[in-house]
Amino acid sequence: MFDTTMISLKSKRRATAFASFILFIAVLSEGKIYAAAVSVGEDISVRLLSEEVHNKGWIVFCARSDKGDWDLFLCRPDGNASHNITRTPESSEAAPQFSRDGRRLLFRRLPREEQIDGNRYGTQGALVMANSDGTGAEVFGENGEYPWASWSPDGKQIACLSIKGVSFVDIASRQVIRRQDRKGFFQQLTWSPDSQWLCGVANSFGTGWSVARMNALTGQTHAVSLVNCCTPDWFDDGRHLIFSNRPLGQKANDGYGWTQLWMADAEGTRRELIYAEEGRHAYGGHVSPDDKYVIFTGNMQENGDTGNVGTPMGLMRLADMPIVGGSDGEARSMYPDAKSGPVLKLPVGWEPCWTFVEIEIDAGAARPAKGSDRNERR
Amino acid sequence: MSKGKWINLTFAMIVLNGLMGLSCRKESNPADSTGQDPNVTSMASIEVTARLTEIPEGAIFKRELYNYATVLKYDVLKVHRGQVAAETIYVGHYNPFKPRSEAADKQVPGIGGTLTSFRSGQIHRMAMEVPIDDYFMGGIIHKYFGKFDGPVYWAVWTNEVTK
């Protein structure tokens, strides 16, 4: 097993050496000391974060391949060891999700010429299921079938969201086991780790885009966050949600504002800022399996710029929240006590998902590590 | 080519153009001043002529990347087909910042109309379905949420009435 303790000690010694060097330079030269020290300090903190997450499993995301289509990629949480695991020039793959045990993947496969649509990507193309390394891919249905599919905690079912309602499908038999009314839910359905709830985006709470939860058995619904919210996902504890939120009243971006990452308890009674950045929308927030880190995507384009190449992803510790990134601006004024980092810059991609399960990557093909039985918390 | 053949060719071209005009898609036929056209009188299950009473602030805005519907309030002037629940109805329109002729897309196909922009006080002839949730799945701007009982209709075809 990789010894993270030793890495931490070595890193601290390097950090100490760097700091000492900086102090020495500071004694010799005055004017530019502060800026240099801050810059080096930030670099050190990002490096420490990178080393901290390096061996914590794998992140899957979609990105433009060198053939111009969208493929799925695996990379280490520090952004290294990126591998294309679909390599399908004739089609594009998007919106990957690891099963909760980390051994399986589901995603959408759509024609190469079709642009990924931020409104309906969960309905585009066909649902595909595969091993977590991308091998054994099997098309599960026809184009448009099983929309907004989300894994059950045990990986044996998917919950799907269509205009007709929410359906719970047994994967082995492909039979619909249950249905319930969607009650205004219309996109980005996610089944909670404790199997009790679904979350998604709804229009039934008086605003266009609310993040809400629905009881998976009774269908009872509750709003979590009401205005300009989307891309919700569950914390592993099943009691909190992460979501995107574009607060009202912003003057930046010609009065439209910038979308931020927020979290709330499942009752929606306590909402907190995780990440904001002047000049960038933050979407697609996903929490690590141990609820300690967040990965997200964001861009100047509100949809993550899927019409082009996507956008750099980011990773941060929840313990460092709130963080306001980028240059000074309205967000910094609103949250003057927020930290400025560290935020680890990850490869260009879209809608990432994280597993702690080890996946063996061979040249030419990735495959799941033998003996990886569960999504262990590191 | 002889003069006679030129005449015949010209006549044939006129006839051909006339036939092409008849076979054009319904969408290109302009509605008359009453808003009547083949689409609004045949599509969906409900057809009304109604006055748009107001456009609440924030109900219509341009948003290129994310689609939505907005709910607008109408006073019904005449029911042509089907039934409506009350004299005042609430109707959802898809991406209302676009001319109706440009509103249909991959997410919501099969809608349209001659209306180019929404203005308070206009009279619209609409083919509609009900309730909106059975026909549209997306963000809905609903400034009247919680302020009335009854369904929200879904506008399929919307023509402006000028007379």
- pLDDT tens digits, B113-162: 999 999 999 999 999 999 999 999 999 999 999 999 899 999 999 999 99
The sign of the CA dihedral A219, A221, A227, A230 is negative
**Predicted pLDDT of residue B112:** 98
Lowest mean pLDDT, pick from A109-123, A204-218, B18-32, B43-57 = B18-32
- Look at the block and give the residue holding tokens 């549209």: B136
Burial of A74 (0-12, 13-18, 19+ CB in 10 A): buried
The reply to whether A167 touches chain B by the CB within 8 Å rule is: no
CA distance A51 to chain B (A): 37
The reply to whether A248 touches chain B by the CB within 8 Å rule is: no
Output the six-digit token pair for A49: 């974060």
Q: Which residue has the higher pLDDT, A363 or A314?
A: A314
The sign of the CA dihedral A128, A121, A150, A374 is positive
- Look at the block and give the residue holding tokens 């109706």: B100
- Identify whether B12 is part of a domain: no
Taking only Cα atoms into account, the Rg of chain B, rounded to an integer number of angstroms, comes to 19
CA distance A186 to chain B (A): 5
- Identify whether B9 is part of a domain: no
* A62-69 long-range contacts, CB within 8 A, separation 24+: A62/A92, A62/A93, A62/A94, A62/A95, A62/A96, A62/A107, A62/A116, A62/A310, A62/A349, A62/A350, A62/A351, A63/A309, A63/A310, A63/A347, A63/A348, A63/A349, A63/A350, A64/A309, A64/A310, A64/A348, A65/A89, A68/A112, A69/A112
Q: Provide the 8-state DSSP code for B28.
A: G
How do strand B68-81 and strand B139-141 relate by DSSP bridges? parallel
Output the six-digit token pair for A140: 């599960």
Cβ atoms of A95 and A70 within 8 Å: the answer is no
The reply to whether A163 touches chain B by the CB within 8 Å rule is: yes
The reply to whether A143 touches chain B by the CB within 8 Å rule is: no
Using CB atoms, which residue from A117, A182, A208 is nearest to B139? A208
- Identify whether B107 is part of a domain: yes
**Can you state the percent helix, strand and coil of chain B, rounding each to 5?**
20, 30, 50
CB A117 to CB B139 under 8 A?
Answer: no
- Identify whether B22 is part of a domain: no
- Look at the block and give the residue holding tokens 């996610």: A190
**Predicted pLDDT of residue A370:** 36
**What is the percent of chain A where pLDDT is above 70?**
81
Cβ atoms of A212 and A185 within 8 Å: the answer is yes
- Identify whether B5 is part of a domain: no
What does the alpha-carbon distance between residue A197 and residue A224 come to, in Å, rounded to a whole number?
13
All residues of chain A having their beta carbon less than 8 Å from the beta carbon of residue B142 are: 203, 206-208
What phi, psi does B79 have (nearest 5°)? Answer: -100, 120
CATH superfamily of this structure's domain A61-368: TolB, C-terminal domain (2.120.10.30)
pLDDT, tens only, A277-323: 988 899 999 999 999 999 999 776 665 555 666 678 999 999 999 99
The reply to whether A187 touches chain B by the CB within 8 Å rule is: yes
Is the pLDDT at B62 greater than 80, yes or no?
yes
**Predicted pLDDT of residue A25:** 53
All residues of chain A having their beta carbon less than 8 Å from the beta carbon of residue B57 are: none
All residues of chain A having their beta carbon less than 8 Å from the beta carbon of residue B140 are: 203, 208
Output the six-digit token pair for A6: 């030793």
**Predicted pLDDT of residue A378:** 39
What distances in angstroms separate CA A281 from CA A166, A250, A298, B43, B63, one per listed residue?
29, 13, 5, 40, 15
All residues of chain A having their beta carbon less than 8 Å from the beta carbon of residue B67 are: 119
Which residues make beta-bridge pairs with B79?
Answer: B48
Using CB atoms, which residue from B107, B133, B135 is nearest to A120? B107
Q: Which residue has the higher pLDDT, A203 or B9?
A: A203
CA distance B70 to chain A (A): 9
- Identify whether B72 is part of a domain: yes
**Predicted pLDDT of residue A40:** 67
CB A302 to CB B66 under 8 A?
Answer: yes
CA distance A377 to chain B (A): 36
Q: Which residue has the higher pLDDT, A304 or A342?
A: A342
Lowest mean pLDDT, pick from A80-94, A288-302, A336-350 = A288-302
The reply to whether B110 touches chain A by the CB within 8 Å rule is: no
Sheet arrangement for strand A344-355: A83-84, A70-75, A58-64, A344-355, A311-317, A293-299, A281-287
The reply to whether A302 touches chain B by the CB within 8 Å rule is: yes
pTM: 0.85
The reply to whether A279 touches chain B by the CB within 8 Å rule is: no
CA distance A143 to chain B (A): 13
- Identify whether B36 is part of a domain: no
Output the six-digit token pair for A295: 């990965």
Q: Where are the domains of chain A?
A: 4-46, 61-368
Cβ atoms of A161 and A147 within 8 Å: the answer is yes
**Structural domains in chain B (count):** 1
All residues of chain A having their beta carbon less than 8 Å from the beta carbon of residue B135 are: 163
> What is the arithmetic mean of pLDDT over A188-204?
97
CB B137 to CB A301 under 8 A?
Answer: no
CB B107 to CB A117 under 8 A?
Answer: yes
Nearest CA in chain A to B68: A208
The predicted complex's ipTM stands at 0.83
Task: End-to-end CA distance of chain A: give it in Å, rounded.
Answer: 11
CB B65 to CB A120 under 8 A?
Answer: no
**Predicted pLDDT of residue A368:** 39
CB A208 to CB B137 under 8 A?
Answer: no
Q: Provide the 8-state DSSP code for B100.
A: H
> What is the arithmetic mean of pLDDT over A244-267?
93
Is the pLDDT at A187 greater than 70, yes or no?
yes
- Identify whether B24 is part of a domain: no
CB B66 to CB A118 under 8 A?
Answer: yes
Output the six-digit token pair for B83: 């039934």
